[in-house]
Amino acid sequence: MNGTNSAQARAARHGRAASALVALLAAATMAACSSTSPSSGSTTPATSGGTFNSASAASEVKQTWTAFFSKTTPIAQKEALLQNGQAMAGAMQAFSSNAMVSEVTANVSDVTFPSPDKADVTYSILLNGQVVENSMAGNAVYENGKWLVADTTLCGLLQLAESQSGSSAAIPGCG
């Protein structure tokens, strides 16, 4: 009987963790989608014969997005994959200190381009390899010759985590 109660308790904890993670990521993507900050220093990405090559750009966005949300990518490399990464170093430390982050990965299913320097990303969130949310929406930006995860994605995640913890502390790098 105790084994059953223990298994039920673990399942309930996992369900609460997955629900909290989904709430965190949903808020982040809402913030990312509402971002209108211009891309400074951007150049035209992935061109072939003078035209925008969406297939090549989509591949680059997928690689960047997947690496940023990979549990095996070191913080310093994640900063290099994030818009305003150096300015967001404090936010990256806060993000990485959350125990759930080590259990989360993202799988990009679609990338579209409203402009040559902005990508709308559709992705799934996985917690320990299990999909916990499908068809999430986020953004990537093209700056200084490479595609980056939009900083609003990370700021949205951290702001929701802070609000759920009851904290109102400022998050370094997030305005």
Answer yes or no: is 172 within a domain.
no
- pLDDT, tens digit, 9 for 90 and up, residues 64-100: 988 998 878 888 898 999 999 888 887 777 667 777 7
pLDDT tier, 116 (very low <50, low <70, confident <90, very high otherwise): very high
Give the residue with greater pLDDT, 138 vs 115: 115
Average pLDDT over residues 138-144: 92
Which structure tokens are listed for 146? 């490479």
In a domain, 18, yes or no: yes
Q: Is residue 169 part of a domain?
A: no
Better pLDDT: 71 or 35: 71
**Nearest of 47, 23, 31, 48 to residue 165 by alpha carbon:** 23
What pLDDT is stored for residue 33 in this prediction?
A: 36
Tell me, yes or no, whether 156 lies in a domain.
yes
Total domains in the fold of the chain: 1
* pLDDT (0 to 100) of residue 6: 47
Residue 173 covered by a domain: no
Q: Is residue 171 part of a domain?
A: no
Nearest to 110 by CA among 144, 131, 152, 140: 140
Query: Which structural domain, as residue segments, surrounds residue 159?
Result: 2-35+42-164
Residue 94's pLDDT is what?
67
* Concatenated DSSP letters of the chain: -HHHHHHHHHHHHHHHHHHHHHHHHHHHHHHHHT--PPPTT----SEETTEE-HHHHHHHHHHHHHHHT-TTS-HHHHHHTBTTTTTTHHHHHHHHHSGGGGGEEEEEEEEEEEETTEEEEEEEEEETTEEEEEEEEEEEEEETTEEEE-HHHHHHHHHHHHHHHT--PPPTT--
Mean pLDDT of the 33-55 span: 56
Q: List, in order, residues 6 or more apart from 149 with CB less than 8 Å away.
A: 64, 65, 68, 81, 82, 83, 138, 139, 140
Q: Which amino acid is at 101?
A: V
Mean of the pLDDT values across residues 162-171?
A: 72
CA dist., res. 125 & res. 8, Å (int): 24
Query: Does residue 6 fall inside a structural domain?
Result: yes
Least confident of 26-40, 44-58, 94-108, 154-168: 26-40
**CA–CA distance, 141 with 110 (Å, rounded to integer):** 15
Query: What are the tens digits of pLDDT across the range 148-163?
Result: 999 887 776 667 667 7
- Answer for the pair 107, 124: CB distance below 8 angstroms, yes or no: yes
pLDDT of 141 over the 70 cut: yes
State the pTM of this model: 0.69
User: Domain containing 72 — which CATH number?
Assistant: 3.10.450
> 92 in a domain, yes or no?
yes
